[in-house]
């Protein structure tokens, strides 16, 4: 694996690294939880129906994909409907963006459950990552 690339967690294997990283540990101050890939393969938006922020996240995610050269990448949706689903999926709140199965905004120790999620943004805590944060994750 090239210098500077790391695996997200034990057992998570990425595609051959081109030097780009997906997920820059935006939830913390250290550039941890990096996973290198040649290209974005899968983007999933996890949410529950009552979430007031998943539509905003979907719109920003589509714009971020389009503006970073991933216009052909579809956004998959996965509804989390029960507490049991949340526990099984290790769901830390709605909306959650997964890039190749990795949550680039994950805060270590975040509680699992069927709840609204907040993101650290330059404007303070918000219910969705900013467009710029999503672009950074996808570059």
pLDDT score recorded for residue 26: 45
User: Is 0.85 surpassed by the pTM of this model?
Assistant: no
Domains of the chain: 41-138 (3.40.30)
132 conformational bin, left if phi > 0, alpha if psi -120 to 50, beta if neither? alpha
Give helix 131-138 / helix 54-67 axis angle, nearest 10°. 50
**Helix (DSSP H) and strand (DSSP E) numbers for the chain:** 3, 7
Query: Could you list the mean pLDDT of each consecutive 10-residue stretch along the chain, which spans 139 residues?
Result: 33 35 40 46 94 97 96 96 96 97 95 96 97 95
CB 24 within 8 A of CB 138: no
Distance CA 15, CA 18 (A): 9
User: What's the pLDDT at 41?
Assistant: 73
| Residues ≥6 apart with Cβ < 8 Å to 81 | 48, 49
- Neighbour count for residue 11 (Cβ, 10 Å): 6
At 60 the pLDDT is: 98
3-state secondary structure of 2: coil
């Amino acid at each position: 694996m090239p210098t500077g690339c790391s695996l997200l967690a034990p057992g998570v294997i990425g595609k051959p690294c081109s030097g780009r990283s997906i997920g820059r540990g935006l939830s913390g101050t250290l550039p941890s939880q990096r996973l290198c890939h040649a290209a974005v393969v899968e983007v999933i938006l996890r949410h529950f129906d009552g979430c007031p922020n998943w539509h905003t996240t979907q719109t920003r995610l589509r714009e971020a994909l389009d503006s970073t050269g991933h216009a052909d990448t579809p956004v998959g949706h996965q509804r989390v409907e029960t507490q049991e689903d949340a526990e099984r999926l290790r769901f830390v709140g709605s909306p959650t963006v997964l890039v190749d199965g990795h949550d680039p905004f994950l805060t270590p120790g975040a509680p699992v459950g069927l709840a609204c999620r907040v993101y650290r943004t330059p404007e303070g805590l918000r219910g969705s990552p900013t467009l710029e944060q999503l672009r950074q994750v996808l570059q």
